[in-house]
Chain A
Amino acid sequence: MADIAELKKIATQVRRDILRQVHGCASGHPGGSLGCADFFTALYFEIMEHDPSFNMKGAGEDVFFLSNGHISPVWYSTLARAGYFPIAELATFRKLNSRVQGHPATHEGLPGIRVASGSLGQGLSVAIGMAIAKKLDGDDKLVFALTGDGELQEGQIWEAVMFAPHNKIDNLIVTVDLNGRQIDGDTKDVLSLGDIEGKWRTFGWEVLNIQDGNDMEEIVKVLHQAKTMSGQGKPIVILMRTEMGYPIDFMVGTHKWHGAAPNDAQLENALGQLEETLGDY
């Protein structure tokens, strides 16, 4: 049984890390990062079987690919808190000579990252490649991937969405962060995604829903359920509704914090809304 209270504590610290990272370099993407903090925490501290000593090939372990690379702060914090690299290194986010690049990259050798992402739409294809390799190698571990919802506007996503069911890629669990917002505004206004559940289902995916992607209990429950559905001939997608900026009162309900960092006063205000549970870096 998952210790939900413990996971929530970690997620709260991850949120503090996110805010302090983007504030430290006055840039980056806090909104989507905050919204996905619970998901990342659940994935790395409850769901995935993974090895923080990090091996690029990921043989014999579950692996994760972040397709919407701009929410790198949440991934970096989670990886550091899970033991992939020193937590103090988060202070170098987006700064010169750092391994903690603006968007995830392998180039500087940051443990935990297996492919660069940031130019949107590519991560699902890469995850499929890893999933095919695992099957060929008789490796029964799983491949996880996260995409944004605005990212579904990229054509390559739908190439991959069509490919996976045809090829019975059933060791793949994709989550879509449905926060309904993108840089230019609400997704429904910029380019509507329409019947998103119907689209995935029609393409041949098993579709699960997380109604509240900021409810740790529900996230853990649905991810566990997804794992039990793997290996049955179909790829699995989880449509996860989150709130961009959650739970910072002045960051929710708008797309404004997609790619903007808080100033000193805003940071203080935001941190005041989040208990320091594991110690800041």
Chain B
Amino acid sequence: MLQDYISSGSKATRDGFGEALYEVGAQNENVMALCADLVASLKMQKFIDHFPTRFVQTGIAEANMIGIAAGLATAGKIPYTGTFANFSTGRVYDQIRQSVAYSHKNVKICASHAGLTLGEDGATHQILEDIGMMRMVPGMTVINPCDFNQTKAATKAIAEYYGPVYLRFGRPNWPNIMSDTKFEIGKAVIMNEGTDVTIIATGHLVWNALEAARNLEAKGISVYLINIHTIKPLDEEAILDAVSKTKCVVTCEEHQINGGLGDAVANVLARNFPSPQEYVAVKDSFGESGNPMDLLIKYGLGTADVEAAAVKVLERKG
């Protein structure tokens, strides 16, 4: 039910990562952390203070970091690599592909500052292609939690799973709406069961989708709202269950329109239950400098954009 989701205050998803990294480190001595000169940004200091010998500082050398992680994983360690999402993916795609994924190494690629909400640093750092790149890699699990609590839960859950994982989170403080600490990889969270339109959102945009859903419900439009923290493997059953009821869908992501959540959902629907779909995503462009909220609005990812997409897809459904 929508009214169950109330923000307990704003906290950054990366802080959830940092807290959980320390906690999994305390629970499992095989957990290690690696960083390429972004310890403060990745909130890794608490882990380092408590487990200094299990931390590897690689300097500004992301390719080497991924390779070292693969070697550590070979020996049975559970390495968590940390840097910005941009440098966690495109910069090291080949290292991830060969040394990690093809070699089936238990490496957790933890990526902060993803998307437009990185803000003022601008397009050089605002990666919007990472979900697409990572979900194309065979065997890669792709997770994009929506808030502090969900990021914390995801960071812990991936330690219990054997295999390569891409965990994507962000920089800004963001409404903390998930109270449940349970996290099941590949299992969508159904936030509301409506009948008119399905909205499937991932990452920060779960908040915008939630606000949009509330506004739509106030206008008499019944919304089936899904928080899809795991983009691969995708919870196809949950998606088909929802869209078979509503017969139309809006997907929301802080990512390019190409290759991300929207395409993943479209793939499932095309094969099983073709339905009208609208994308709330960046329309094949780079970002720019600005504050996170202004950027989301300029690039069509705001709450009003989600609402407009829902109205449009309802019209298309007829």
Q: Interface of A with B (CB < 8 Å)?
A: 56-59, 65, 105-107, 114-119, 121-134, 136-137, 155-156, 159-160, 162-163, 167
Contacts and interface: CB of A to CB of B under 8 A. Distances in A.
B63 A125 contact: yes
A102 to B, nearest CB: 13
Interface in B96-125: 97-99, 102-105
B95 interface: yes
What interface size band does chain B fall in?
A: 20 to 34
Interface pairs A-B: 4 shortest CB-CB: A129-B71, A125-B67, A133-B75, A159-B64
A137 B72 CA distance: 11
Contacts of B71: 65, 115, 125-133
Given A58-B75, A115-B74, A163-B59, A132 B67 contact: no
A220 B7 CA distance: 67
Contact of B67 (A118, A134, A160): A160
Given A57-B76, A136-B53, A105 B102 contact: yes
B63 A155 contact: yes
Contact of A159 (B56, B61, B74): B61
Chain B CB within 10 A, most for which of A130, A133, A167: A133
B301 interface: no
A107 B98 CA distance: 11
A57 to B, nearest CB: 5
A126 B74 CA distance: 9
A238 B67 CA distance: 21
Contacts of B68: 125-126, 128-129, 132, 163
14 contacts: A57-B76, A65-B71, A118-B98, A125-B67, A125-B71, A125-B99, A127-B71, A129-B71, A130-B72, A132-B72, A136-B54, A159-B61, A163-B58, A167-B56
Given A107-B102, A119-B98, A163-B59, A125 B74 contact: no
Contacts of B53: 136
A132 B63 CA distance: 17
B69 interface: yes
A184 B114 CA distance: 40
B271 to A, nearest CB: 27
Given A116-B102, A122-B95, A156 B67 contact: yes
Nearest to B97: A119
Contacts of A122: 63, 67, 70, 94-95, 98-99
A130 B74 CA distance: 7
Nearest to B56: A132
A134 to B, nearest CB: 7
B247 interface: no
Contact of A107 (B69, B97, B104): B104
B98 A116 contact: yes
B208 to A, nearest CB: 39
A156 B66 CA distance: 10
B78 to A, nearest CB: 11
A55 to B, nearest CB: 10
Given A116-B98, A132-B71, A133-B77, 14 more contacts: A58-B75, A105-B102, A114-B103, A119-B94, A126-B67, A126-B71, A128-B64, A129-B67, A132-B56, A133-B76, A137-B75, A156-B67, A163-B58, A167-B56
Contacts of B95: 122, 125, 156
Contacts of A130: 71-72, 74-75
B58 to A, nearest CB: 6
B20 interface: no
A65 B71 CA distance: 10
Contacts of A159: 58-59, 61, 63-64
B146 interface: no
A163 B66 CA distance: 13
